[in-house]
Structure 1
Amino acid sequence: MDDQELDEGFKERFEALLARFPSMKMAADIAGYSAEQLAKWRDGKARAPLRPIANLCQASATSLDWLVFNREMPSSTIVTATDGELPDVVWIPLLEVIASAGPGYENARPYELRRLPFPRTWLQRLGVPEKYARFLGVDGDSMEPTIMDGWIVLVDTRPKHARANGIYVLVDGPNVRVKRIALGWQNSIVLISDNERYQSEPLSPPDAEALQVAGRIVWAGGEI
């Protein structure tokens, strides 16, 4: 394989490696370089140094030998999420749930699709115990620019009621929604879309009490 073929293959594999992270910013923080620099490596505009590439491979349980040479290492030598050798990374379940930033999105019983790496220090700073952290996908534009259509968000699944202002995952039968909640007088609440094109939805105390909360969103490409 000549250098051009190697470079093209590396670009494709490096793009697949970056896709294992919930955001480019997270991958950049783990690599120790800017997101702009990672984009240059991905697009073949610059050659990537070994150390940040090795850090990304370790954090995502990816074979460095596969990334560089397109060779699979024996499974016994590949770092996995359960090896305990990644003290700075936690592996958070990505659920098969689409939370709609809009009128509601019907979901079947969710199950774990896979696990995504997340910096342990970030999770500690957010104050979310690992066992209560889950990733969900978001569909729709009503929460833009805070949460963009297609983003993955990190949810603290402990809150089951809206006791403070914030962005929550709401359940209405089979439908799952994402809305900002503002607390009003005498236990009333307002469901707010950050996109100004959408109207707010005030809920009286009885309806507010009946609202089912599946958790609070604490990260969406950045702390919110």
Structure 2
Amino acid sequence: MSQPDARNRLAQLSKERAASLASLSELLGRNASYLQQFIKKGSPRKLEEGDRKTLAEFFGVDESELGAPDGRSKENSYKARLVAQDIDYIDVPRLNIGASAGPGALPDREKPFDAFRFSRRWLAEQGLEGAKLQAITVEGDSMEPLLNNGDEILIDTAPRAFRDGVHVVRLGDTLMVKRIAQAGAGRFSLLSQNLAYPPVDVAADEMEVIGRVVWKGGRI
């Protein structure tokens, strides 16, 4: 790729990833105007090899797109793909605990045993950009047919203003997944989807909301 094309490609990548040229220059250990001058004024005439390699890895592209000489552009393609995965995906920890599982650890005190990987784009499409997500397992039938025994659910534990919905809560030493509705005068109703389970009326200070359930997954 010619150097003018490489400059255009760098400007395009910067815009697509919402990464400012100043911040990218700082990534390279350069002054804030370094890449701006490269793109707008052609100074320096071409990127130094180390700078080009760092930018290619950051964007997850082949070095040839940023002006690498022929025959060297494939050198770091595999590593670039790995870096791109780290940029475009988020690992959500899976915790070895279950809602309605009786006494046990809370999500923020349990060491993950595995992780789900979700794309940042998908999370944004679901309205979950910026969410603090953890995955736990549903145990029991109290939330059927909405949530079945063995389903894995994502809970958003980021601090947010409370609103009615399905949450994981701690009541005493028990974790529960319930639909929570305000009952007035500082009280809440914990509701099961399975009508065989009666509502539980609790005071606000008797329960701790761990997180809101925002996604479920399970076998068909």
TM-score, reference length from structure 2: 0.55
Q: Distance in 2 between matches of 1:170 and 1:160?
A: 14
Higher-Rg member (1/2): 2
CA-based RMSD of the aligned residues comes to 3.0
Do residues 212 (structure 1) and 208 (structure 2) align?
Answer: yes
Q: How does 1:80-99 map to 2 (within 5 A)?
A: 83-85=83-85, 88-99=88-99
Point out where structure 2 has 5 or more consecutive residues left out of the alignment. Answer: 1-76
Q: Distance in 1 between matches of 2:112 and 2:82?
A: 16
* Structure with larger RCO (C-alpha < 8 A, sep 6+): 1
| Counterpart residue type for residue 210 of structure 2 | A
Q: 1:185 to 1:153 in 2, by over 3 A?
A: same
Point out where structure 1 has 5 or more consecutive residues left out of the alignment. Answer: 1-76
| Counterpart residue type for residue 84 of structure 2 | G
TM-score, reference length from structure 1: 0.54
Q: How does 1:101-116 map to 2 (within 5 A)?
A: 104-108=101-105, 109-116=109-116
Post-superposition CA distance 1:16-65 (Å, at most 9, x none): xxxxxxxxxxxxxxxxxxxxxxxxxxxxxxxxxxxxxxxxxxxxxxxxxx
Equivalent residues of 1:160, 1:213 under 8 A apart: no
| Counterpart residue type for residue 187 of structure 1 | G
Instruction: State the match for 2:118 in structure 1.
Output: 118
| Counterpart residue type for residue 96 of structure 1 | N
Q: 1:142 to 1:88 in 2, by over 3 A?
A: same
| Counterpart residue type for residue 84 of structure 1 | A
Q: Distance in 2 between matches of 1:85 and 1:199?
A: 46
Q: How does 1:7-156 map to 2 (within 5 A)?
A: 83-85=83-85, 88-100=88-100, 104-108=101-105, 109-129=109-129, 132-156=132-156
Q: How many residues align?
A: 140
| Counterpart residue type for residue 112 of structure 2 | E
